[in-house]
Amino acid sequence: MPSFVECRSFDVVHQSRLLGNWNQKYTQLSPGRFEGSVTELQLDGVTLSRERMNTAVQQMGSLPPKRFAVSHPINRDGLHHLDWRRDVKDGSGLMNSAGTYRVMSSVSSDVLVLSVSEEVLAEHMSNLEIGMTVSSVRTLTLPDGFERMAVDMLCQSRLGLADDFCENAAKRLLDSLASPICEVSAIGGARPWRTDRFVIVNDACDAAEEEGLNFATLHTMCHGARVSLRILQYAFREVLGVTPLKWLRIARLNAVHRDLIRLRPSGITDSALAHSFTHLGRFSVEYRSIFCESPRETLHRVRGTA
């Protein structure tokens, strides 16, 4: 059930208990009367929080089980990592529930924290055809505009949590993690954006075909073209007018169409399932949108001319 809470605190120990179900210990380092707050939007498997404190605080904590999280300081000098993340020069360290994390927040700190369940993130990445595991990623760079989007989202939450708002908010937050996770998977020697867009698109399509359209993912295409997901998306939109994911679905629809045209004995259902279409009703709608006839009409037409 989605929820939105805003809590104020006047004690550092109380503050340590406000951030979701994290196990945290806070030590106030600078003198003064403590004041802090946490604003938190909880969606289905996704939590967006904003924590503000007026004193310097040493923090040690761990995530709830089976969660990933990333922190983003709004005031850039407001958060100093005391663990392995201090060596991350560009981007942010991706935290998981297996580790203990240590930071020091400065006076007047203001930090966004995005936390997601492993299951929800894995399902979202699967829906986006990103074929890799999150456990292989330690650092990532949140998309441009994440900070503004997150702050605006928390502000809008004060007006109510309508179903369409919650669904869209959860998707945008998950995209904020899924997209950079795919980007960091690009292999060494990645091509710059100035590389010929046609070469990028051709190499990505070839990689998908070689892998097998029913097995290919966006990770396959990024790897084959040696570019990040963001550059791959730009190239596909500029050259073909569709996103890489849309192209992959269209290519699979064409593969089913070829099966039907060749009168393969497998039938419509088996051919659709073989090319990763698990929702047959949605498959028929997408098929008609491309070929202006249903799969059954294609089969009848071909059999009538055979």
The 10s digit of each residue's pLDDT in 283-297 is 999 999 888 889 999
Residue 213 domain flag = yes
Tens-place pLDDT, residues 127-144: 777 766 676 677 888 888
Residue 185 scores a pLDDT above 80: no
Tens-place pLDDT, residues 62-80: 999 999 999 999 987 788 8
Output the pLDDT for position 305: 62
Residue 252 domain flag = yes
Residue 149 domain flag = yes
Residue 192 domain flag = no
Residue 299 scores a pLDDT above 80: yes
- Residue 142 and residue 14 share a domain: yes
- Residue 167 and residue 66 share a domain: yes
Residue 248 domain flag = yes
- Residue 207 and residue 170 share a domain: no
- Residue 223 and residue 98 share a domain: no
Output the pLDDT for position 116: 94
* Structural contact between residues 222 and 229, judged by C-beta atoms closer than 8 angstroms: yes
- Residue 176 and residue 125 share a domain: yes
- Residue 204 and residue 162 share a domain: no
- Residue 182 and residue 34 share a domain: yes
Least confident segment among 36-45, 134-143, 249-258: 134-143
Residue 64 domain flag = yes
Confidence tier at 191 by pLDDT (50, 70, 90): low
- For residues 174 and 166, what is the distance between their CA atoms, to the nearest angstrom? 12
Beta strands in 63-183 (DSSP E): 67-73, 79-81, 92-93, 95-96, 101-105, 109-117, 139-140
- For the chain, how many structural domains are there in total? 2
Domain of residue 171, residue span: 3-186
- Residue 205 and residue 168 share a domain: no
